[in-house]
Amino acid sequence: MELQQLDRYAKALIKEAGRKIRHSLTYELVIESKADANDLVTNMDKEIEQFFIEHIRKDYVGHAILGEEGFGDDLLSLNGYVWMLDPIDGTMNFIHQQRNFAISLGIFKDGIGVFGYIYDVMNDELYSAQKGHGAYLNDEPIPVLESTTISKAIIGMNASWVVPNRHIENEGLIRLVKDVRGIRSYGSAALELAYVSTGRIDAYMSMRLSPWDVAGGVVIAEEVGAVATNLKGQPLKFLGQDTFIVARKSLHDSLLANYITLK
């Protein structure tokens, strides 16, 4: 298969999906809850996932699709080509703010990320990368990240980290909040990966993410020299949920060694 053609195809689908999402803001959304009252989904999350799936099934027969809203395939392995799609990452922002959400897409082959895309729909900013060929923000190359220190770092994590939880000891987190320059929480894992990749924040961590939240972003982040693993420091599997951290190498290692103590 011609990879550049696949890249152009994926980008065109993403842009078209973005236009549909922007247009949807001119009429009323249908909003429902999923696992709990704050786990929201709209008709657009579902329509956009179906839009991708219809096209991919027709034009790339044999490719599998893993999508958040469940219209894709139930996968037990990552053999062959797998499209990992979050049609709207940051649904709560989409509903409440009409901004700060993204389309997140990773195209993997035999478990390896080949293409990564994060589309900041309202800013018309497409972050993209092909493994081994660097990362781009629209048509501009994204520079490789330089190293930094904890005391100069801005860390992306969400408020659930301050609540005692079953994953991580609070003592290390309290020290971390004191030692870093700042903490940010944007409400879209994909955008936070895009921000780590462009140096706007220096790390992003989560206690639970799904493959579609991070698949595209990890391809982009790795192209600029960031390291992404679970919170045990193990490679990501992209099948099922896991903890997650992405940061520049020195920061990644220092965060795991000195601040993150798993229970």
CA pair distance 55, 9, nearest whole angstrom: 10
Least gap, CB of 91 to Ca ion (angstroms): 5
CA pair distance 58, 235, nearest whole angstrom: 33
259: tokens are 């601040």
CB under 5 to 8 A by kind: which of ligand IPD, Ca ion, none does 90 bind? ligand IPD
What is the three-class DSSP state of 7?
helix
CA atoms within 13 A on the CB side of 60: 21
Lookup result for tokens 């790339």? 60
Q: Rule CB under 5 A: is residue 86 a binding residue for Ca ion?
A: yes
Q: Which is nearer to Ca ion, 72 or 153 (CB)?
A: 72
Q: Which is nearer to ligand IPD, 17 or 209 (CB)?
A: 209
Tally Cβ neighbours within 10 Å of residue 249. Answer: 12
Residue 8 near residue 126 (C-beta atoms within 8 A): no
Burial class (CB in 10 A: 0-12, 13-18, 19+), 29: middle
To the question of whether residue 213 is assigned a binding role by annotation, the answer is yes
Residues at the site binding ligand IPD, with contacts judged by CB under 6 A:
68, 86, 89-91, 158, 187-189, 206, 209, 213
What is the three-class DSSP state of 127?
strand
Q: Which is nearer to Ca ion, 216 or 251 (CB)?
A: 216
Q: Which is nearer to ligand IPD, 6 or 191 (CB)?
A: 191
Q: Rule CB under 5 A: is residue 192 a binding residue for Ca ion?
A: no
To the question of whether residue 242 is assigned a binding role by annotation, the answer is no
CA pair distance 49, 65, nearest whole angstrom: 10
User: x/- binding map, residues 18-57, to Ca ion, per CB under 5 A?
Assistant: ----------------------------------------
CA pair distance 76, 133, nearest whole angstrom: 29
- The CB-nearest residue to ligand IPD is 189
To the question of whether residue 68 is assigned a binding role by annotation, the answer is yes
Q: Rule CB under 5 A: is residue 213 a binding residue for Ca ion?
A: yes
Q: Which of 7, 47, 68, 242 binds Ca ion (CB under 5 A)?
A: 68
Q: Which is nearer to Ca ion, 36 or 139 (CB)?
A: 36
CA pair distance 97, 221, nearest whole angstrom: 26
CB under 5 to 8 A by kind: which of Ca ion, ligand IPD, none does 7 bind? none
The residues binding Ca ion (CB under 5 A) are: 68, 86, 88-89, 213
Annotated binding site for Mg(2+): 68, 86, 88-89, 213
